[in-house]
Structure 1
Amino acid sequence: MKKSKKPVFVLLLLCVVALAILAFIPFYLEKLNNKDVNFYVVAKGKGQPSDELKIYPYYDSVGEKTYFFLPGNSECYDYKLFFGNAKELMIGDVSFSSGDILDDSFLNYYEKTNPYLGNLEFNYELLDKKGEKVSGNVFFLTGGEVSTMYLASGKDSMEKVDGDPLHNITATADYSVYDPLGAKETSGKLKISGHGNSTWTELMEEFPGQEFKRSYNISFNEKKSILGMKSAGNYVLLSNFYDESELKNYLVLDVARRIEMDNVPDCEYVNLYINGEYRGLYLAAQKIKEGNGFLKISSDGYLAKFDYEERVKTEGNVYTETEGRFAKIQYPSEPNEDRLAQIHEDICKVEDSIAEGEEEFALLADERSFIKYYLLQEFFENGDADRASQYVYKDGMKDKLVAGPVWDFDLSMGHPWFSYGSYEWNALWIKGLVDESGWLRKLSDDEDFMEKVRMFYRNDFYDKIAYVEYHVLFRLAERIHDSYYMDMIRYENGPVYYDRFDYEKYDAEKYDLYCIADNIQSWMTGRKSFWDGYADNPDQYEEEILEPGEDTKSIRKLILMIKK
């Protein structure tokens, strides 16, 4: 009896398939995202446990330069150069074999190349197996003291996510998070989708076909701590598109925690890589959502977000409308008609109580939370104050309404859209809102409430601001400086949606974060100087209205308080 040759045939077939897959992989790597990849770097952290991370270059088609954006630094990582179907690689006058370590002499980082990070540029020449030469200029930039998040997902899946203006498409990805030393903190699977309105949907409409830095939502099947933050099931990877410093959201949330606001989202910086491609420096933050480990509300409570009408009325949203204000009901997610009517009635009662006076308002609202919330929006002159991303919540219907959690301060601290030079230092920011229907704007006319705001500033706020201004700001800039530079180079050719920082004015090198931080400190110093005087003696000031005009970049009027 003859033995069947079928198992042998199947084995041979599997070998052929395996070889075909292996043959396809180099081609895929070399054509990743339709960019020619002639060589790549494998970064391996020296901390334990660690992994090997493939990092593909970014080609700047405008400047005709190649950039490698690498995690960590040479003290924490080994960087090995690999090249595919090629015989040899020359960088400068050094010849590399595939797998050779890229030593510190090739790396750009602030302590070595101060004050200009991008001055270590090398010519490279790669000889492929056909004998043809590929040459150009290359930079190797390192991210310094910032953690790394590395995602692996289907290329088509992420293209669909990035192309979805409504954020309905979700991709599944394998993820790993590494601390600044390169040690793996956690790994597993997550889901990723788009995040943002003006920072995504509106940009797609305004700049069709252009690449820009996107924000993302990520979620886990269970609560998980990442980057040292408290456990949550949902996080946001904020691109900070409208904040050229990428510092403002972090700083304001830090102040919010120091003045002991409730439910302030944890946040931390991270360099994001998707399928080996550097996506930028992100601020990862807990997502404002009930029941995900961040915010706990009872079954008869609610979470609402006041925002622009066109955003709130998006298809699928549950919302309520008061006197010219629109609030998306984020919890419960699908209230029945009676429940929605109950929430609507409750919000209207609180709104009506503002007109009845501070005492009536304090019966229905957690007044201290509104004082803290008001002062954060006012002091930092948030462009979204009383207009967008304004949250309120109730733990239960018998409880008082709480202001917060705080969110979204990229349009603050002298943003070009609202800038009067240094004039706004002395402004009553919220009182200058043309639309007087917002809750904060109405509260600004209540002198009893405003006296409590000034008292809170004197007793609890001013020293926290001083600490952040002189101790947190520059430590933060120092920590993220190298990653910030990588991020700026990565999106240098992206859409310009507002006037950028004028480095020449301050005799600074381009993308010098310390110069921007110094500018923020000057702004905070001026603003604090005004509030120190105004909080103690408001009667010594009189109003002067400054309207938008040719001499200002602002889109709103300004109520200046001039000392008599």
Structure 2
Amino acid sequence: MKRSITCLCLLLLVFGCKKDGVKVPPPVTPPVVVTGPDVEFKIEAKNNAGKVTNDVVLTADGTKLKGYTPSTSTYHNFILTFKLKDAASTVKVGDVAQVSGVTENDFTKPVVYTVTDSKGAGKDYTVSIYNFTGLPIFNLTTSGPVVSKEEYVTGSLNINTNGLYEQETNDIALQIKGRGNSTWGLHPKKPYRLKFSSKAKVLGLGAAKNWVLLANHSDKTLMRNYIADGVAQSLNGDFTPHGIFIEVVMNGEYLGTYMLTEQVEVNANRVNITEMKAGDNAEPNVTGGYLVELDQRQEDEHLFKTASGLPFTVKEPGDITPAQMAYIQNYMQDTENAIFAANFTDPVNGYNKYINSDSFINWFLVNELFKNQDAADFSSIFYFKDRSGKLGMGPAWDFDLGAGNVDYSDATRPDGWWVKNGPWFKRLFQDPAFLTKVRTRWQFLKANGIPAMFKSIDDTEALLTLPAKENFTKWNVLDKYVWPNPVILGTYPREVSQFKFWLTQRVAWIDSNL
């Protein structure tokens, strides 16, 4: 009877509340208490003399535990101290019993600890210990200071992969020099060019001699080049380079977080076109392959200009013959003539006779999306022509002044066309067929590469949390102007947030105006 009365009262209360328009609150669910791991791991300094100066407590994500030793020094063998919730538990690595504060293990790769409690129940914990920030560490030793873009300095490279990559060769003889233009001359954090004595694979990238360490000093997100490369890859852009974040130490001095990437060059693992020889001076051999850059600086040896004044540099072949130079110069001029001819839209005798429009469109979209400062008509605009092939564009390159990171032009704004107004693209967009292909490709990018781009930004920010902290401790510029930053935001998360906000606005503007 008491239960019936109680239920009746509750029903009357519910209906009474509904009648008065008051919503009944949902039942309160008791909070779920999440317990920590059954064992606490740490690296105690007293048991790891010379490797750590302070205790390192490992952080837990379920059964995965991580620890970061504060030094850039390469140490992988550590003695762990562990505290068990069940004092009668046993701990093993494989078949080897572990004694807290005594047993040493090699953490070059993650180590699995099996904890078995007093009731016989076992649980595996995967323990990863990284040096410094967890990124691969490039330890460079040089015979002298690196102070020139022209003169190489001899040295060697030791790679600490931090267990993230397979590396066939860890000790590499090399030469090193500076690289870049404004990035070399204006910034204290310098970019570098590495030239190995022999070809070698690096962190899973294809074997080559020449490599680039990008400093990204003016880009306080540290990721514009990396994210742009990802967009280009989503479009299958020709010969898009790959980026891997690393820490660089030179002669014992930490230099900051860098991005390792491939040098723009003709190579089976880079710009994969025919490598020309000195005897390739007649058809069909003389038709390729060529790597050409539109570069207003005109600092290299093999230069020419088209009739409209566009300045080109032949990057490869390096020892170009007069016949080869004449061929590529004439081909570039014929291409320009076809683009500006009255019959330029003719699918047989117009510009399509000379260029691979799909390659041009893929290159255009990533550079226009980032409103890349130099990509309109200044520099780092690469073209390639393979043997008996048409002219293509790629690789997409040099985005540190993209996505609004510039204060001296309209490229700072997320609205307005930029690369589309370039000398050849402006004309190409007058062809309705070309515009239709661009629109179709944009829809593909919007459905695939752009969602992946925003996810990659979030993932990269998480990856660079510790590296950014160390980098901006070394280079204290987050609250300072660095050429050519349009804004000073003060923190790393704000820099990344602004980067995302700019790209969000840019995507919307292109989508509305294309």
Mapped pair 1:260 → 2:236: yes
In structure 2, the CA distance between the partners of 1:80 and 1:215, relative to structure 1 (3 Å rule), is closer
Among 484, 499, 502, which residue is 1:498 paired with? 484
Task: For 2:132 and 2:398, locate their aligned partners in 1 and report how far apart those are by CA, in whole Å.
Answer: 25
Q: Which residue of 2 aligns with 1:297?
A: 273
Q: CA deviation at 1:481?
A: 2.0
**Amino acid across the alignment from 1:226:** V
Q: Which residue of 2 aligns with 1:561?
A: none
In structure 2, the CA distance between the partners of 1:292 and 1:371, relative to structure 1 (3 Å rule), is closer
Mapped pair 1:452 → 2:437: yes
Contact 2:411 2:418 (C-alpha < 8 Å) held by counterparts: no
Q: Which residue of 2 aligns with 1:281?
A: 257
Contact 1:378 1:430 (C-alpha < 8 Å) held by counterparts: yes
Q: Which residue of 2 aligns with 1:225?
A: 201
Within a 5 Å distance, the mapping from 1:191-202 to structure 2 comes to: 191-201=175-185
Among 217, 230, 239, which residue is 1:241 paired with? 217
Q: Which residue of 2 aligns with 1:15?
A: none
Q: CA deviation at 1:282?
A: 0.7
- TM-score w.r.t. length of structure 1: 0.61
- What RMSD in Å do the two structures reach over aligned CA positions? 3.1
Task: For 2:163 and 2:481, locate their aligned partners in 1 and report how far apart those are by CA, in whole Å.
Answer: 33
Mapped pair 1:144 → 2:133: yes
Contact 1:233 1:293 (C-alpha < 8 Å) held by counterparts: no
Mapped pair 1:487 → 2:492: no
Task: For 2:454 and 2:338, locate their aligned partners in 1 and report how far apart those are by CA, in whole Å.
Answer: 40
Mapped pair 1:353 → 2:346: no
Q: CA deviation at 1:200?
A: 1.5
Question: Which region of structure 1 is more displaced relative to structure 2, 297-306 or 263-272?
Answer: 297-306
Q: CA deviation at 1:440?
A: 2.8
Q: CA deviation at 1:244?
A: 2.0
Gaps of 5+ in 2: 1-42, 44-48, 53-64, 74-130, 277-287
Q: CA deviation at 1:241?
A: 2.8
Q: Which residue of 1 aligns with 2:499?
A: 520
| 3-state secondary structure, aligned to 2:374 | coil
Task: For 2:273 and 2:50, locate their aligned partners in 1 and report how far apart those are by CA, in whole Å.
Answer: 40
In structure 2, the CA distance between the partners of 1:214 and 1:54, relative to structure 1 (3 Å rule), is farther
In structure 2, the CA distance between the partners of 1:443 and 1:485, relative to structure 1 (3 Å rule), is farther
In structure 2, the CA distance between the partners of 1:450 and 1:337, relative to structure 1 (3 Å rule), is same
**Amino acid across the alignment from 2:383:** V
**Amino acid across the alignment from 1:511:** T
Mapped pair 1:511 → 2:491: yes
Q: Which residue of 2 aligns with 1:153?
A: 142
Q: Which residue of 2 aligns with 1:368?
A: 358
Q: Which residue of 2 aligns with 1:75?
A: 67
Within a 5 Å distance, the mapping from 1:149-188 to structure 2 comes to: 149-154=138-143, 157=144, 159=145, 161-162=146-147, 164=148, 167-181=149-163, 185=167, 186-188=170-172
Contact 1:172 1:190 (C-alpha < 8 Å) held by counterparts: yes
**Amino acid across the alignment from 1:254:** G
**Amino acid across the alignment from 2:434:** F
In structure 2, the CA distance between the partners of 1:183 and 1:263, relative to structure 1 (3 Å rule), is closer
Task: For 1:421 and 1:380, locate their aligned partners in 2 and report how far apart those are by CA, in whole Å.
Answer: 9
Task: For 1:79 and 1:264, locate their aligned partners in 2 and report how far apart those are by CA, in whole Å.
Answer: 34
| 3-state secondary structure, aligned to 1:312 | coil
Contact 1:149 1:273 (C-alpha < 8 Å) held by counterparts: yes
Q: Which residue of 2 aligns with 1:467?
A: 451
Q: CA deviation at 1:330?
A: 0.9
Highest RCO, 1 vs 2 (Cα 8 Å, sep ≥ 6): 1
Q: CA deviation at 1:368?
A: 0.2
Task: For 2:415 and 2:249, locate their aligned partners in 1 and report how far apart those are by CA, in whole Å.
Answer: 42
Task: For 2:137 and 2:72, locate their aligned partners in 1 and report how far apart those are by CA, in whole Å.
Answer: 18
Cα deviation per residue 1:259-284 (whole Å; 9 max; x = unaligned)? Answer: 11121112101110001101111111
Contact 2:191 2:213 (C-alpha < 8 Å) held by counterparts: yes
Contact 1:216 1:236 (C-alpha < 8 Å) held by counterparts: yes
Q: Which residue of 2 aligns with 1:312?
A: 298
Q: Which has the larger radius of gyration?
A: 2
In structure 2, the CA distance between the partners of 1:255 and 1:336, relative to structure 1 (3 Å rule), is same
Task: For 1:255 and 1:448, locate their aligned partners in 2 and report how far apart those are by CA, in whole Å.
Answer: 24
Q: Which residue of 1 aligns with 2:85?
A: none
Q: Which residue of 2 aligns with 1:103?
A: none
Structure (1/2) with the larger helix percentage: 1
